[in-house]
Amino acid sequence: MELDEIKYLYLLFLLPVVVVLFFINLYWKRKKQREFGDLEIIKKLSPESSVFKPVFKLVVILLALAGLIFGLVNPKIGTKMETVKREGIDIVFAMDVSKSMLAEDVAPSRLEKSKQLVSQIINQLGNDRIGIVAYAGSAFPVLPITTDYSVAKMFLQSMNTEMVSSQGTSLDEAIKLSSTYFDDKSKTSKLLILVSDGEDHSEGAQAAAEEANKQGMRIITIGLGTEKGSTIPLKKNGVVESYQRDNNDEVVITKLNRASLETIAKSTKGGYINGNNTKEVVAYIKNTLDKIQKTEFESTQMADFQSQFQWFLGFAFVLLFLDLFLLEKKTSWVKKLNLFNEEK
């Protein structure tokens, strides 16, 4: 059994609170009765008043509350096992997080646009496994190969230019690290989607791409930015404080280097696409994936859990309905039992 919303179990602490309130109210009633007169005389004046009924009503209310709480928790019971076969490919997203990705020649910025693109691509995937790499002057593993897309998108949204301390853009480091995500012994198709403005401060990108090709990797490059270029705003709390400057104190103009990205893609028989239009990029990637051979890479047993909340809620509502007809005066057959020694 598994519990869907465990947090609601904390509501069970309300049950002892209800019990305490019940006894406080009972004490208050007795106190007022003593102030009014002798208890024995009061009992004779109200012979139908029951000691048992209020306690019974309390038990009914407690059981009803417990039923409502467990209904909110939604216990689930596994009823059957299914064999699930997954067919797909392995995809690694290499995300450029260098300072140049803060440029706003692509709205809202190159970095935010790259997140939007990758998120939309992930939404179109089926059973493919994915991983994420961040890179600037060096590469950094963000998320290993997984089929959990929700976790992947969570990590994706947290990416920023502070993740990698070494600034610059080393496309070769991104390719080399991404290649380690793939299992050399696996027959699963390997795809690297490299998102960048193409500004490369290393000299080994093409060599790294050629080596990746030998390992059976295909690389698709997505270019972000414009060839005209843009400044790199440095913001604090969303407000531009200054612009990135070089060693000569000149304002840096960062431009899209389409040629370098096309060369990398060509080395692995992949492809290049400009990332400014999200719809076109998603369609291009989907079309490419449809042409890549899928491989069965996982066969797992999955328990199909069925929700049981309806039984608890039904039980609770029956008790609450019953409580409407429970009066606090004595019932004839209970009176005969004399459970509380009320008859003397």
pLDDT of residue 171 exceeding 60, the answer is yes
Mean pLDDT of 308-328: 79
pLDDT-derived band at 10, boundaries 50, 70, 90: confident
171: helix, strand or coil: helix
Bigger pLDDT: 327 or 53?
53
Per mean pLDDT, which of 174-183, 314-323, 332-341 is the most reliable? 174-183
CB within 8 Å of 322: residues ≥ 6 apart: 60
| Chain center to CA of 32 | 56
pLDDT of residue 49 exceeding 80, the answer is no
Please report, as a single letter, which amino acid is at residue 276.
N
Mean pLDDT of 287-298: 83
> pLDDT tens, 205-260?
899 999 999 999 999 999 999 989 999 998 888 788 888 888 888 998 999 999 99
Q: Among 77-91, 97-111, 291-305, whose mean pLDDT is lowest?
A: 291-305
pLDDT of residue 196 exceeding 90, the answer is yes
Q: Locate CATH 3.40.50.410 in the chain.
A: 84-299
Mean pLDDT of 77-102: 81
Confidence at residue 40, expressed as pLDDT on a 0 to 100 scale? 62
Assess contact for 15 and 65: CB atoms under 8 A: yes
Assess contact for 272 and 265: CB atoms under 8 A: yes
Would you say how long the chain is, in residues? 344
- Report d(CA 95, CA 101) in Å as an integer: 10
Bigger pLDDT: 281 or 5?
281
Q: Among 63-77, 119-133, 143-157, whose mean pLDDT is lowest?
A: 63-77
Confidence at residue 340, expressed as pLDDT on a 0 to 100 scale? 46
Assess contact for 102 and 117: CB atoms under 8 A: no
Element (H, E) at 2: strand 2-3
Bigger pLDDT: 194 or 319?
194
pLDDT of residue 174 exceeding 90, the answer is yes
Q: Is the pTM of this model over 0.85?
A: no
> pLDDT tens, 326-339?
665 555 544 555 54
The residue written with tokens 């209800």 in the block is 18
Question: What angle is formed at CA 82 by the lines to CA 79 and CA 88, rounded to 5 degrees?
Answer: 145
Q: Is 169 left (phi over 0), alpha (psi -120 to 50) or beta?
A: beta
- Report d(CA 283, CA 117) in Å as an integer: 11
SS (H, E, C) the chain: CEECCHHHHHHHHHHHHHHHHHHHHHHHHHHHHHHHCCHHHHHHHCCCECCHHHHHHHHHHHHHHHHHHHHHHCEEEEEEEEEEEEEECEEEEEEECCHHHHCCCCCCCHHHHHHHHHHHHHHCCCCCEEEEEEECCCEEEEEEEECCHHHHHHHHHCCCCCCCCCCCCCHHHHHHHHHCCCCCCCCCCEEEEEEECCCCCCCCHHHHHHHHHHCCEEEEEEECCCCCCECCEEEECCEEEEECECCCCCECCECCCHHHHHHHHHHCCCEEEECCCHHHHHHHHHHHHHHCCCEEEEEEEEEEEEECHHHHHHHHHHHHHHHCCCCCECCHHHHHHCCCCCCC
pLDDT of residue 300 exceeding 60, the answer is no
Confidence at residue 186, expressed as pLDDT on a 0 to 100 scale? 77
Mean pLDDT of 172-197: 90
pLDDT of residue 163 exceeding 80, the answer is yes
280: helix, strand or coil: helix
Confidence at residue 338, expressed as pLDDT on a 0 to 100 scale? 53
Confidence at residue 87, expressed as pLDDT on a 0 to 100 scale? 80
Fold of 84-299: Rossmann fold (3.40.50)
Task: Give bridge partners of residue 298 from the DSSP assignment.
Answer: 86
Q: What is the mean pLDDT of the chain?
A: 83
pLDDT of residue 307 exceeding 80, the answer is no
pLDDT of residue 82 exceeding 80, the answer is no
